[in-house]
Every structure is written in C-alpha cells, then in structure tokens.
Amino acid sequence: MSSLSLNSVARGISQASTVRCANGHFRLRSLHSSSAASLVLRKAKSAQSVEDAFEEDEEIEEDLFSTSSPTSSSKYQLDKSSIRQSNVSSILKHAKLPAKEKRKDKLSIQALRQVAACSQPEEAEQLKSVIRAWRVGGLKVSKTTAREIIGRLCNIGKPEVASELISNRLQYGLPDIDQPTLIKLHQSLISSSLPSPKLPFTQPISPTLALLRLSLAQQTEGSNPEQETLSLSTSPKGRTWKPTKAVEGWANQARERLTAAGGAWASAAQNIQRSQ
C-alpha cells in the first residue's frame, strides 16, 4: 500500500470522526466510526510493513543517487557510477590511514550504502573488498545497511556473495540480519542449489528459516539431519514477524521436499513444525 493510500485513509478518518459545531469547536461525530476507521488504518500500516520486507531496493537506490535537477537516463547512470567509484576509493583509502588519522577522516554510512547499491553482478566481488575495508577502517555496518546489502545481492543474482558476508562476521562485520531478508537469501540459495551460510550464535532463527536451512542441508552432499538440527534451535526473537504468502509458500515447499526425502529428514521437519 502506498503512502498516498495511507494518507487518503487518514483523511477519511479525520473527516468521518469529527464535525464542526456552530460555535467553531469540534466534537466527535461517532465514536464507533472513529474506532473502526483507526482499526483500518492500523491494519493498512501493518500490511505495508510486511510488503516492504520483500520489496525491491529500487526506491532506496533512487533516494541514494537522486539529483535535484532532471537528467537523462544515460547521464544518471554515469553520475551514479562516478559517485559509486568515488566512494569506493574513499573507503579503501580510509582503511590504510594510521589510527589517529582514521578518527579525523569522517566517512558517512551513506558512502557504503551507495557502494552497496550495485546493479551489476561483477560489482558484487568489489563490494566484498569494500565492506572488508570498512571494517578495517574501524567503522560499523548498521542493520539497515546490512539488510540493503543482502537484499541487493539477492536481487542481482549473487546470493553466494551475500552468504559469504554473513558467514564471516570476523572479516566483514555484518550484524544479525532480520528474518525476512535471511529467508529471502535462503530461498535464493535453494533456487541456485548452494549451501546455507554459517550463522553466528547470536542470530535469531524462526521456524520458517529453520525449515529452509534444513532443506538446504538435505540437498548438500555429506550433510545429515542430526548434525543440522543441533544448530537449528529456534529463538523467540525469530518469531516476532508475520510471514507473507510468498514466505509461507517457500516453507511449504521445503516441508514437502523434506517429507519426500523421508527418514530422519522428514522427522526433523516435523519437529520444526511442532515448535511453531
């Protein structure tokens, strides 16, 4: 739901719930209609937040590289590439500075976000070195930026790079990732027949994510359900979000694959389902 639609709902609430009296004061027209309208608005906002979790990052990219004046598509791409490369150079240079100079050389998180807004698969490998330099430079990756990085890499068909970034926190310094983004990554890995990332012990795991990780293990040679199940204890923090229909579909597909595999794989899937 767009912000325009939400604003229309809000205006409707305002118009429906108040009326101007003869003396110029306002009074409630109907407590029931006002409460009902407020409920509609809350539900609309909730639906929008869920949809935004899997939205393409094009809107973010436009905000990062927008200019105040209209420009042609080709010139925009040139400007975007120039800004991106300038930020790459600044971040790599910052990482090589002595400790005292690093503290004086201020870099905004916006610089990393603009580098992360890559649109070509070949830029993904460069992104790894930039994130590593960001960490060497004593800078932190915010949760919002980490979500953008992982989502963007999935969008351009490079989930294996996203998996590497998550698997090596010591080298790249990414924080815990939100469940929708992690689930999107794991579904991308399943589609590409790639192994699942190594998650840090602090990372919350929802039952849906546990199912996808078990499904990834099942298609990875040399894996066994007992070993994988030990690392799949779900966390209460991983349950504080509402899955979309697409996510529910992915979970059902994973469950069907594990059931078809039979034996210990099917039993492990049933155990995860019982924990929901």
Residue 106 has a pLDDT of 87
Residues 6+ apart with CB under 8 A from 24: none
Which tokens is 131 given? 């994130």
227 and 156 fall within a common domain: no
153 and 66 fall within a common domain: yes
Lowest-pLDDT range, 30-39, 70-79, 180-189? 30-39
145 and 254 fall within a common domain: no
Residue 68 has a pLDDT of 46
How many independent structural domains does the chain possess? Answer: 3
212 and 271 fall within a common domain: yes
92 and 165 fall within a common domain: yes
Of 108, 140, 175, which residue sits at a domain end?
A: 175
Residues 6+ apart with CB under 8 A from 36: none
Range of the domain at 255: 201-276
Residue 224 has a pLDDT of 79
